[in-house]
Amino acid sequence: MTTPIKVLGYARVSTDKQARFGASMEAQGRLIEEYCERQGLALVEVVTDEAVHGTVPFKERPGGREVIRAFKSGRAEGIVAFAMDRIGRDAGDATQTIRSLVAAGIHVYTLEDGEIALEDFGSRVMMVVRAEVAAEERRKIAARTKAAHDANFKAGRPVGPTPLTARAVERDGRVYLEPDPNLMRAADI
């Protein structure tokens, strides 16, 4: 009987809001646990990067650094990510990270693709295609966000979070931010 491969799960969300309401860390972790069980992998732990954008290089993220330390110490032999875009939304960084891990003998798995093996041309092409799809989705998200901000600005609605010392007031069909003395005093506390 062979010893199961020891793996770390890796989950990431880009914003605090996603962490609370979107593809939560708990949901990603649960799906990674189920995947490891089905595949006979020994899950050591799930490492998370909460509110870390996918364009931040993997090795510069707190969770990414923790994963790399675990590999160097021999605590784990592989990584299981929810999807390739969790490793990175920058195509160059994602493919370089995966290539470096695989070259170091680290097993890389995603729930979508299974183990990412780079021995054959088809596998390498699929990795690059998935990384480019993730990068394109990042560009689309940025364009949608900018369009929403522009529309809000043109409509006279506040863009961005409301400051702690202001309140939104509707007047003449438009929304304005006004200083609120009560909030200002509370912010000084």
pLDDT tens for each residue of 75-129: 999 999 988 888 887 778 888 888 899 999 999 999 988 888 877 787 777 777 7
What number is the average pLDDT over the span 3-27? Answer: 79
Phi, psi of 129 (to 5 degrees): -60, -45
Higher pLDDT, 138 or 13: 13
Query: Which element (helix H / strand E) includes 12?
Result: strand 6-13
pLDDT at 167 over 80: no
What would the 3-class secondary structure string for 45-59 be?
EEEEEECCCCCCCHH
- Note the pLDDT of residue 116: 84
CA angle 90, 93, 99 (to 5 degrees): 135
Query: Which residues fall within 8 angstroms of residue 88, CB to CB, at 6 or more apart?
Result: 54, 55, 57, 58, 94, 97, 131, 134
- The DSSP output letter for 40 is T
pLDDT value, residue 186: 47
**Does residue 179 carry a pLDDT above 80?**
no
Query: Among 23-27, 83-87, 138-142, which is the least confidently predicted range?
Result: 138-142
DSSP state of 7: E
Q: What CA–CA distance (Å, rounded) separates 12 from 15?
A: 9
pLDDT > 70? residue 69: yes
